[in-house]
């Protein structure tokens, strides 16, 4: 008959590391909120996952309105080059920069230089 001895110290170590990672993530999000620039994070399906205070001010839309929306549809994005070319450059070089025009909530256009970088962040599951 085999018995199983729980590995409590290992589990507690994993939990402690997860808590530390969560604390770092919260601190980073807090710092992004302090930025005056608009910072928008999208997932691989182009859905907005992060929308800071700077984006709220610039586009006149709240975080609650933005999170989960398809970014290019939500902002009615117009690019300085065709979208498929911009996405191809982003995938190939992991970086793209150009001019974009977004539409604010009040329907005014907001034109600005933009840069995008692409990186895959893997989430660890508990």
**How many angstroms separate the CA atoms of 84 and 118, rounded?**
15
**75, 55 Cβ separation under 8 angstroms:** no
pLDDT, tens digit, 9 for 90 and up, residues 66-86: 999 999 999 999 888 898 998
Over residues 31-40, the mean pLDDT reads 84
pTM of the entire predicted model: 0.70
Question: DSSP string of 12-78?
Answer: HHHHHHHHHHHHHHHHHHHHHHH-SS--EEE-TTSBEEEE-HHHHHHHS--HHHHTTSBHHHHTT-E
Under CATH, domain 20-117 is a member of which superfamily? PAS domain (3.30.450.20)
pLDDT, tens digit, 9 for 90 and up, residues 45-65: 999 999 999 999 999 999 999
Please check the confidence at residue 4 and state whether its pLDDT lies above 60: no
Rg (CA), the chain: 20
Residue with structure tokens 């001895």? 5
Quote the tokens at residue 68.
């989960």
Residue with structure tokens 């399906």? 45
CA neighbor of 116 nearest in space, from 38, 59, 64:
38
pLDDT, tens digit, 9 for 90 and up, residues 103-124: 999 999 988 777 666 665 555 5
């Amino acid at each position: 008959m085999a018995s199983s001895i729980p590995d409590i110290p290992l589990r507690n170590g994993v939990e402690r590391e997860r808590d530390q990672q969560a604390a770092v993530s919260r601190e980073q999000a807090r710092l992004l909120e302090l930025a005056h620039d608009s910072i928008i994070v999208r997932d691989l399906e182009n859905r907005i996952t992060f929308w800071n205070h700077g984006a709220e001010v610039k586009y006149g839309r709240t975080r609650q309105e933005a999170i989960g929306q398809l970014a290019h549809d939500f902002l009615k994005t117009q690019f300085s080059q065709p979208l498929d070319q911009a996405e191809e450059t982003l995938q190939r070089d992991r970086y793209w920069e150009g001019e974009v025009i977004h539409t604010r909530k009040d329907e005014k256009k907001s034109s600005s230089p933009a840069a995008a970088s692409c990186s895959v962040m893997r989430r660890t599951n508990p």
